[in-house]
Every structure is written in C-alpha cells, then in structure tokens.
C-alpha cells in the first residue's frame, strides 16, 4: 500500500509540479500569517497587559494615599512646616508650589509629589526642591530636600532624585547669575 501511495505522489509531482508548488506556497503563507498573528499577540501581551494591570495598581495606591482636595493643602503645609521647624530648630513659615499637579507613582511605593519650597524663619530664608510621599490620606513624609545653595553648588545632585521634567522646572527657580554663568549656559 505504501509503495502505491509513493507512486501516486511521484506521478502527481511529475505530471503537475506547479500544483505542489502552489500548495506549498499557500501553506507557507498560512504559516507566516500565523506567526505574524502570534508575534502581534506576544507584543500586545508583553507591552499592554502589564500597563493595564499596573495602571490599576498605581491608581489604587494614589487613591489610598493622597488626601482629599479639601485636606491636601492643610496636611501638606502642616507636614512641611513641621519638617522645616525641626530642621531649622525654630518656627518656620512655609510657602510651596507643586512642580507637577499630579503625583508620580512607581510600583507599590507611596505616591510622590515634587515641590519648590520657600521657608522663612526668624534667622533665615531657605529655598529648595523637595520630594514628599503621600501616606494613607493623612500625611506627607519628606523623602528628600535639596536646598537652592546645594543645587547651585552641584546641579547634578538633582539627577538622583527628580525626573527630568521636574529638574527643568527646578532650574527655573535658580538664579544662574549668582553662579557666574552667562548667556543662559546652565551646563556648569
């Protein structure tokens, strides 16, 4: 039986070789199309699905930790004032400006805000960039503070703490004339 089927196949190939080539081309096309579909599904799975899952996680961490709009300013001023009063050893009055309107969220960490602060006390005035974490809708923890003087002495210190878009905004608060830089060159 096997010998007969080989004769039939040989007969088909010899008598009509284009038919076999057309079939091979047809099935090769199906195979390539299938591989393309699998590649697209793989790319979507790797790139989109984690964002959907983590986007939900990020949003839930923000919702669970950022105070309501009604409490936000009160809690932030309270916690910044407490931080700088302790840091300076005297009462402090804090004014601030958010460098981003929304928090930065990375994984399961507390949501972070980037802020420019001006702190007045009886002895001094302090300005700088600060990063705070919103904690359980009730408080803000200062994670990093870099004074204007530190930034002017070493502008690269910002790279370790702040994202590039925030660094650009921080640089807007620095008077580079005090650093002896001319013509807007901030590459010092």
Please state, in angstroms and rounded to a whole number, the distance separating the CA atoms of residues 153 and 176: 11
Is 80 a member of any domain? yes
Residue 118 · residue 72 · CB < 8 Å: no
Distances in whole angstroms, Cα of residue 2 to Cα of each of 5, 9, 11, 15, 17: 5, 11, 14, 20, 21
Indicate whether 75 and 35 sit together in one domain.
no
pLDDT, residue 107, reads: 75
For the segment 61-84, what is each residue's pLDDT rounded down to a tens digit? Answer: 788 889 999 999 999 999 999 999
Please state, in angstroms and rounded to a whole number, the distance separating the CA atoms of residues 1 and 20: 22
Overall average pLDDT of the 182-187 stretch: 40
Is 7 a member of any domain? yes
Report residue 143's pLDDT band, with 50, 70 and 90 as the boundaries: very high
The least confident of 44-58, 93-107, 110-124, 127-141 is 44-58
- Chain mean pLDDT for the chain: 81
Is 133 a member of any domain? yes
For the segment 21-40, what is each residue's pLDDT rounded down to a tens digit? Answer: 677 777 787 888 888 988 88
pLDDT, residue 24, reads: 77
Please state, in angstroms and rounded to a whole number, the distance separating the CA atoms of residues 64 and 111: 10
pLDDT, residue 141, reads: 96
In sequence order, which residues have a C-beta less than 8 Å from that of residue 147 and are 6 or more positions away? 126, 127, 128
pLDDT, residue 22, reads: 74
Overall average pLDDT of the 181-187 stretch: 41
Is 186 a member of any domain? no
Percentage of residues in the chain with pLDDT exceeding 70?
Answer: 73
The dihedrals phi and psi of 3, each to the nearest 5 degrees, come to: -60, -35
pTM metric for this prediction? 0.64
Domain that holds residue 76: 67-179
Is 62 a member of any domain? no
DSSP letters spanning 49-113: HHHHHHHHHHHHHHHHHSPPHHHHHHHHHHHHHHHHHHHHTS-EEEEEEESSSS-B--TTSPPEE
Work out how many domains the chain is built from and give that number: 2
Indicate whether 157 and 82 sit together in one domain.
yes
Distances in whole angstroms, Cα of residue 113 to Cα of each of 75, 85, 95, 157: 13, 20, 15, 18
Please state, in angstroms and rounded to a whole number, the distance separating the CA atoms of residues 80 and 61: 22
Is 188 a member of any domain? no
Whether the predicted pLDDT of 187 surpasses 50: no
In sequence order, which residues have a C-beta less than 8 Å from that of residue 186 and are 6 or more positions away? 155, 171, 176
């Amino acid at each position: 039986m096997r010998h007969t089927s080989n004769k039939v196949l040989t007969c088909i190939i010899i008598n009509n070789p284009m038919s076999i080539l057309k079939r091979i081309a047809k099935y090769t096309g199906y195979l390539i199309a299938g591989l393309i579909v699998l590649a697209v599904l793989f790319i979507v799975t790797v790139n989109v699905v984690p964002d959907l899952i983590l986007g939900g996680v990020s949003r839930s961490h923000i919702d669970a930790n950022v105070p309501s709009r009604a409490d936000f300013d009160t809690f932030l001023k309270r916690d910044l004032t407490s931080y700088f009063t302790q840091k300076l050893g005297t009462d402090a009055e804090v004014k601030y400006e958010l460098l981003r309107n929304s928090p930065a969220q990375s994984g399961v960490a507390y949501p972070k805000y980037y802020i420019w602060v001006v702190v007045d006390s009886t002895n001094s005035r302090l300005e700088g960039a600060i990063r705070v974490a919103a904690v359980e809708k009730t408080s803000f923890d200062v994670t990093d503070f870099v004074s204007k003087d530190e930034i002017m002495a070493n502008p690269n210190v910002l790279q370790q703490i702040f994202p590039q878009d925030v660094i650009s905004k921080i640089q807007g608060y620095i008077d580079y004339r005090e650093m002896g830089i001319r013509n807007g060159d901030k590459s010092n």
